Amino acid sequence: MTKPKRDYPVENIRRLLEPGPIVLVSSAWKGETNIMTMGWHTVLEFTPSLVGCVIASSNHSFGMIRNSGECVINIPTADMVDTVVKIGNSDGDEIDKFGTFNLTPAKASKVKAPLVRECFANLECKIHDTRMVNKYNFFIFKVVKAHVTPHRPLPQTLHYHGQGIFTTDGRKMNKAAGFTKWRDTATF
Amino acid sequence: MTKPKRDYPVENIRRLLEPGPIVLVSSAWKGETNIMTMGWHTVLEFTPSLVGCVIASSNHSFGMIRNSGECVINIPTADMVDTVVKIGNSDGDEIDKFGTFNLTPAKASKVKAPLVRECFANLECKIHDTRMVNKYNFFIFKVVKAHVTPHRPLPQTLHYHGQGIFTTDGRKMNKAAGFTKWRDTATF
């Protein structure tokens, strides 16, 4: 999917992450880039737009993200499942993942880490709080810029269930009429 | 769904939570019980079995959980969507959610908070770390006991996309052959 993307309000990224998609985290440090697959993340706040993620210290990306203070959270569509599996089962210190898996690094606006162009959403992130990194490998990022391919409804993503099993998004149910207490105004 | 449940290994609960389901959090404090809907959570570790969750301080459950040090994370099946919406759009200080929504409080093994029997999975949790509660309303829980209705494959759950939109789990893809680097052994 290489349609042009639009800016997306960072306070609305819960619409992209709360459903629980597998994401690709890209990073750059000292002339090198890397990509990792990541499934342990949560939205933490609307404004500032905060996301918490577990990035295991055994991962090559861990040092690159901690040292650069930045990353991009890229959300792949369901058709990218084989690439997602390959990225998650290879080592960034052995191969160039962009080149090996035919992915396109695109220039970000506010961070040096590259966007993965083939993903439908790219969230540029800066480290906001590292207090939980040493104990839990848990980074708190602030989303400083978001790019999303206009698509209505949003495209199908991947959900990981362990044991090599993924599902896509299934049947959609609109229950907005019951939301009398909470409302959100994202319309894109 | 009221079939008898079985013990589920707490180190395998990533299989239940990593796909990103909306969950119901039940709590008890001073003779009162409550249930809230929650979508901002992530697995943090296999062993000990740790889960991080955002529980807004404006929520009636916040004080009950912080004071009791416990809760149960219950995972509803997709057919419970209307109940999930009602729980998320009502106030625990105004109504008894178990009684109002015809849900059955069942006795937990290791915590005083009740299980929501109608949910297919119940994760008994104790607070493990409160360092991020004041700043981010982010609780780190240790799952001390898990109960799951035997069901293969696991039943469809709910994913929340904002604006009142939910999806269920869709098409399943088995990519285990590509998992050469990471393996997990959960088989239930």
| CB A76, CB A22: distance < 8 Å | yes
**In this complex, which of A15, A52, A169 lies closest to B42 when CB atoms are compared?**
A52
Q: So what CATH class is A6-166?
A: mainly beta
pLDDT confidence of residue A182: 63
Residue with tokens 């040493």, as numbered in its chain: A134
Taking only the tens place, the pLDDT of each residue in B48-93 is 999 999 999 999 999 999 999 999 999 999 999 999 999 999 998 8
**In this complex, which of A14, A140, A179 lies closest to B85 when CB atoms are compared?**
A179
Looking only at the bridges linking them, the beta strands covering A70-75 and A121-129 are antiparallel
Q: Do A159 and B161 touch (CB under 8 A)?
A: no
Cis peptide before A48 (omega within 30 of 0): yes
Ordered alpha helix ranges (H), B14-159 = 14-17, 60-68, 81-88, 97-100, 133-136
**In this complex, which of B21, B50, B81 lies closest to A173 when CB atoms are compared?**
B81
Q: How far is CA B15 from the centre of its chain?
A: 13
What is the residue extent of each domain of chain A? 6-166
Does B173 contact chain A (CB < 8 Å)?
yes
Using CA atoms, how far apart are residues B175 and B127, in angstroms rounded to an integer? 35
Question: Residue B53 pairs with which residues in a beta bridge?
Answer: B41, B139
- B50 → chain A, closest CA residue: A136
In CATH terms, the fold of domain B6-178 is: Pnp Oxidase; Chain A (2.30.110)
- Average pLDDT (B163-171) is 95
Does A166 contact chain B (CB < 8 Å)?
yes
- Average pLDDT (A143-163) is 92
pLDDT confidence of residue A186: 47
pLDDT cut 90: percent of chain B above it:
89
pLDDT confidence of residue A188: 44
Does B143 contact chain A (CB < 8 Å)?
no
- Residue A158: enclosing H or E segment and its boundaries? strand A158-160
B136 to chain A: which residues are within 8 Å by CB? 44-45, 50, 140
Taking only the tens place, the pLDDT of each residue in B28-59 is 999 999 999 999 999 999 999 999 999 999 99
Tell me how far CA of residue A4 lies from CA of A1, A120, A158, B65, B99, in angstroms.
Answer: 9, 10, 22, 45, 51
Taking only the tens place, the pLDDT of each residue in B103-124 is 999 999 999 999 999 999 999 9
**In this complex, which of B89, B162, B171 lies closest to A184 when CB atoms are compared?**
B162
Burial label for A171, CB within 10 Å (0-12, 13-18, 19+), is: exposed
A182 to chain B: which residues are within 8 Å by CB? 88-89
Cis peptide before A114 (omega within 30 of 0): no
- Report whether pLDDT(A170) > 50: yes
Taking only the tens place, the pLDDT of each residue in A89-132 is 999 889 999 999 999 999 999 999 999 999 999 999 999 999 99
| CB B174, CB B186: distance < 8 Å | no
Q: How far is CA A75 from the centre of its chain?
A: 5
Confidence at A187, pLDDT banded by 50, 70, 90: very low
| CB A139, CB A50: distance < 8 Å | no
Confidence at A184, pLDDT banded by 50, 70, 90: low
